[in-house]
Amino acid sequence: MDNHSDSEDQDIICYCEWLTREEIVAAIPYVRTLRELRETTRACTTCFGCEGDLDDLVSVHRDLFGTGL
């Protein structure tokens, strides 16, 4: 049986790492760059299928970079 609900699946950005939009946004304040975000979360490091979605998410939340450091 699948452990992910349909509504949760809609929020998945990176299916290789099963990372949700919320998990990625929560990590942004603790990194300084998109590269660091990828290294920290492992988003967009395997198949690169989520690259466009990740870029869009980062452009919306760019002002959060480094605010938690």
pTM of the full structure = 0.83
Whether 10 is in a domain gets the answer no
Whether 67 is in a domain gets the answer yes
- Report the number of distinct structural domains present in the chain: 1
Give the structural domain span for 53: 33-69
Whether 55 is in a domain gets the answer yes
DSSP H helical ranges for the chain = 6-10, 21-27, 34-41, 51-61
Whether 50 is in a domain gets the answer yes
Nearest Cα to 68, choosing from 38, 39, 25, 35? Answer: 25
Distance CA 41, CA 23 (A): 8
Whether 7 is in a domain gets the answer no
List, for residues 49-59, the tens digit of each pLDDT value: 999 999 999 99
Whether 16 is in a domain gets the answer no
Whether 61 is in a domain gets the answer yes
Is the pLDDT reported for residue 30 higher than 70?
Answer: yes
